[in-house]
Structure 1
């Protein structure tokens, strides 16, 4: 009979192999080490690949710089550029199985050493050549393009190459300089023609000495991905433009500024009147226009930068994408409705990079000569609900009182009177804690007015 304890036998056998736990742990360690080695190996190959591609790009950039240096100073320029010359501003070059996009910009430099224009009468001191290479693929340049810059000076003493200086400033909605905006400059009236795109610097500026003289013919368009745009306009587009194409005069500096910022989204929803319980209204035709004006037409009427006719969909909504920062007004084009209120109040201010919704309350167009829509607000232009609006005309025996709409409703802060005859009415607004406000209103058509209440 054996004297071994049952646990002693198990203990003896445990030394002859691995337990399941030990095997799992070992496998996990193996996988971790293998995965790490694989990741390190992959990073090493990527680093080697990127280094080789960037080396190739740098060689190509140096080659383009040397091509520029081999040109005579008078010929050094880009096609459609300022200065003009034979070098392509953008070209595709295939090298080592990779397609590189080569962007070359050449511009005069007004060196501050000898003063700057307009004090410096000869401000085309030398030329600056900038070559940028970008590429796609497994080792794409991404946000790290290869860029080489060199300055090339004339062999003789500096001379006046003629023309004037274009000085352009790009800023955002807050008035701060905007870096990285694409500024396209076109002039087809000079020889050779100008057609180039330059990126604004960290100060939001594009400065081009040596621009050929021309009268109101430099067309400027400023853009940036995800931003609004700004531009100049010719007489063929706007009769009396507020921002005409730019004139450049010999030895003078021509300045212009442009405002762009991130675009926004604006959604409008149309509802019925308070009396009807604010039902959703579909397929309502609206006119939407901004406050910014680009000029006037032949009749001196303003031409708005944004002015569109739209219709709400089957859900009673319409969404505007890529909207510019501005103040917007909505008008009801559908003759079967009158505007009976809005939330927020009109006009609405749309900021850059904002998503905003507006609700419109519409009432059926009723018989009569007109209607009256009243917005009641405090001294800070904040709409006030539950105020009492009383409209009176003794001769017509008209006396009606309506409360301004509640917060959250499509007619917040508004009171709407319809079926009014053409006449003069007395309007009185009352609200607890505020001084009464009285105004005389002449009705000949649909009228919209704002009444400000001051606290007692």
Structure 2
């Protein structure tokens, strides 16, 4: 009987694996050889195409060597696709006039009045669909037989720089001139010095339209006069025969403003109509702003202004008064900046004044400055950098839990007069005599979020002598719920035994980080022929949405007002201004 032995499964698998390794290696080698051969074939074809293109240019007249609508102008196209061996190749031609320093340059000494000495020709060829990374290129120079160039032509130097006056490299410069001989429509890119130098251009006045751009950057351009803009800041460029014309453009990274409209208690104001206006001009007589846009914020009070140029921007509210902004207006928007901005809005009044107090050197807003605005029959004092709630009318009567109707309050003891006249609080008068004391408790004020309290103020601050000392006193109660079990009214020392009066207006820190507040007013008199009077109660506070260095004055009548500003460490300042509509007025203080 014969002994038959075969291969086991493991032996077969090992043999197959070895074969696969060798087979893959051989296949990869063959593929690499094919690839090298193919690339060599492409290079041979591209070299042949380059040689053809050079021969074509050599057989042209010097004056025909150029790009159609380019500078220098000629009969050649900028790009062309040709087919060789069923493969498409893209040809790109670049032709420039060269001002050789041998006989001087047009902007040097000696001055070369005919600077187009010869031409540089660069031809690039690349296979469009062969995964080729770099084109094959050749550069040659073409000289005229006798003359250098057309003596009726001139040169145009275009300089592009950024906001810091540094040259911008690689910026696209499009130049279009349809009325020149020859016509021009070309795109060049700035060199390392941010320059594009175009030689041998046809002369013409205000005929070269130029647009400068770069991905991620702003755009700058010339503008033709029009009915809307008869005197543009930057009209089209001119070229004079045998002269250099220079024009500059400024571009930089685009910026944005993320706007949020809120009210004085940090709640969003939806669908607010806001106008954003820059300060740069695109025309004069009349002045025409380069940028102005009116938008509406969304339901959350937000709007994103995109693709903005660096500039100084003002924000205006339509159908609202601007109580302030964070940061303070005007906004200084730098290149590449994403600026978040809060605009604090209040009820619209016919005339309002927003005073911005700044350091005259740093231009930074100054909080805790005392701002006094006064004229005949009007005087108000505010402190910059704080918000406030205010009540000026109680004629609507009692019974209001939450402060919704600004003419109502919660309760009184029956000894307070609120309608004689409306807007003033007095002691009740019976048979020609005032009662000796009375009290009133306000509705609940909601600040929208926990706040830190500053001062309690009222007007008139001084009372008639017959009333006696401390004819007007207050206590306040705070909470983080609008319906606490009990409102604990406290005075300036944090206890129920003290009262806020003309000597104590600073609110105790025990109330800080509270969202809801009530005040309790106590009126007393020493002589029942006299009554204390209160016409305005306001409580100042600080929150994350309190505009720094700003004080708002609303419901003004049109006319002249004196604005006086005092702050520790700075010289006092007094200005007289004319208030009409809504005015933002800056006061720059000089340090001592």
Task: Please indicate the TM-score interval, normalised by the length of the shorter structure.
Answer: 0.7 to 0.9
TM-score by length of structure 1 reads 0.81
What is the match of residue 385 of structure 1? 367
- Pair member with larger Rg: 2
Does 1:442 pair with 2:572?
Answer: no
What is the match of residue 356 of structure 2? 375
- Secondary structure in 2 aligned to 1:240? coil
What is the match of residue 248 of structure 2? 257
Residues 104-140 of structure 1 deviation map (CA, whole Å, 9 limit, x = unaligned)? 2222211111101152122111111122346655624
Residues 21-79 of structure 1 deviation map (CA, whole Å, 9 limit, x = unaligned)? xxxxxx9xxxxxx9999999999988877676566545544433332222111211111
For residues 171 and 451 of structure 1, the distance between their equivalents in structure 2, rounded to whole angstroms, comes to 34
State the number of aligned residues: 420
For residue 205 of structure 1, the aligned residue among 191, 195, 210 is 195
Instruction: Kindly indicate whether the alpha-carbon contact (under 8 Å) linking 2:367 and 2:383 is maintained by their aligned counterparts in 1.
Output: no
More helix by share: 1
Instruction: Kindly indicate whether the alpha-carbon contact (under 8 Å) linking 1:283 and 1:316 is maintained by their aligned counterparts in 2.
Output: yes
For residues 230 and 375 of structure 1, the distance between their equivalents in structure 2, rounded to whole angstroms, comes to 33
What is the match of residue 321 of structure 1? 306
Instruction: Kindly indicate whether the alpha-carbon contact (under 8 Å) linking 1:233 and 1:245 is maintained by their aligned counterparts in 2.
Output: yes
Instruction: Kindly indicate whether the alpha-carbon contact (under 8 Å) linking 1:53 and 1:139 is maintained by their aligned counterparts in 2.
Output: no
Instruction: Kindly indicate whether the alpha-carbon contact (under 8 Å) linking 1:360 and 1:410 is maintained by their aligned counterparts in 2.
Output: no
For residues 350 and 50 of structure 1, the distance between their equivalents in structure 2, rounded to whole angstroms, comes to 52
Instruction: Kindly indicate whether the alpha-carbon contact (under 8 Å) linking 2:370 and 2:381 is maintained by their aligned counterparts in 1.
Output: no
What is the match of residue 225 of structure 1? 215
Give the Å deviation of 1:404.
Answer: 2.5
Between 1 and 2, higher relative CO (CA 8 Å, sep ≥ 6) is seen in: 2
For residues 84 and 253 of structure 2, the distance between their equivalents in structure 1, rounded to whole angstroms, comes to 37
For residues 181 and 402 of structure 1, the distance between their equivalents in structure 2, rounded to whole angstroms, comes to 49
What is the match of residue 427 of structure 1? 563
Instruction: Kindly indicate whether the alpha-carbon contact (under 8 Å) linking 1:65 and 1:129 is maintained by their aligned counterparts in 2.
Output: no
Does 1:404 pair with 2:394?
Answer: no
For residue 302 of structure 1, the aligned residue among 287, 309, 315 is 287
What is the match of residue 93 of structure 2? 104
Give the Å deviation of 1:100.
Answer: 4.2
With over 3 angstroms needed to count, the CA separation of the structure-2 counterparts of 1:199 and 1:50, relative to structure 1, is farther
With over 3 angstroms needed to count, the CA separation of the structure-2 counterparts of 1:121 and 1:397, relative to structure 1, is closer
What is the match of residue 120 of structure 1? 112
Range with greater deviation from structure 2 (187-196 or 152-161): 152-161
With over 3 angstroms needed to count, the CA separation of the structure-2 counterparts of 1:241 and 1:383, relative to structure 1, is same
For residue 240 of structure 1, the aligned residue among 207, 225, 231 is 231
Give the Å deviation of 1:303.
Answer: 1.5
- Secondary structure in 2 aligned to 1:85? coil
Instruction: Kindly indicate whether the alpha-carbon contact (under 8 Å) linking 1:230 and 1:260 is maintained by their aligned counterparts in 2.
Output: yes
- Secondary structure in 2 aligned to 1:420? coil
Instruction: Kindly indicate whether the alpha-carbon contact (under 8 Å) linking 1:388 and 1:404 is maintained by their aligned counterparts in 2.
Output: no
With over 3 angstroms needed to count, the CA separation of the structure-2 counterparts of 1:401 and 1:410, relative to structure 1, is closer
- Mapping for residues 143-154 of structure 1, pairs under 5 Å: 144-154=134-144
Instruction: Kindly indicate whether the alpha-carbon contact (under 8 Å) linking 2:68 and 2:77 is maintained by their aligned counterparts in 1.
Output: yes
Give the Å deviation of 1:361.
Answer: 0.9
What is the match of residue 176 of structure 1? 166
Residues 417-456 of structure 1 deviation map (CA, whole Å, 9 limit, x = unaligned)? 1001234333233334444333333323322111223444
Residues 376-430 of structure 1 deviation map (CA, whole Å, 9 limit, x = unaligned)? 222311112233322233x314334344245842522211110012343332333
- Secondary structure in 1 aligned to 2:555? strand
For residue 153 of structure 2, the aligned residue among 158, 163, 181 is 163
The two structures, once aligned, show a CA RMSD in angstroms of: 3.4
- Which ranges in structure 2 are unaligned for 5 or more consecutive residues? 1-9, 11-16, 18-22, 387-541
- Mapping for residues 19-30 of structure 1, pairs under 5 Å: none
For residues 556 and 25 of structure 2, the distance between their equivalents in structure 1, rounded to whole angstroms, comes to 81
- Secondary structure in 2 aligned to 1:257? strand
What is the match of residue 66 of structure 2? 77
- Which ranges in structure 1 are unaligned for 5 or more consecutive residues? 1-17, 19-26, 28-33
For residues 25 and 278 of structure 2, the distance between their equivalents in structure 1, rounded to whole angstroms, comes to 58
For residue 344 of structure 1, the aligned residue among 316, 327, 333 is 327
Give the Å deviation of 1:351.
Answer: 1.8
With over 3 angstroms needed to count, the CA separation of the structure-2 counterparts of 1:259 and 1:35, relative to structure 1, is farther
Does 1:131 pair with 2:148?
Answer: no
For residues 399 and 321 of structure 1, the distance between their equivalents in structure 2, rounded to whole angstroms, comes to 40
User: Displaced runs of 4+ in structure 1, greater than 6 A?
Assistant: 34-51
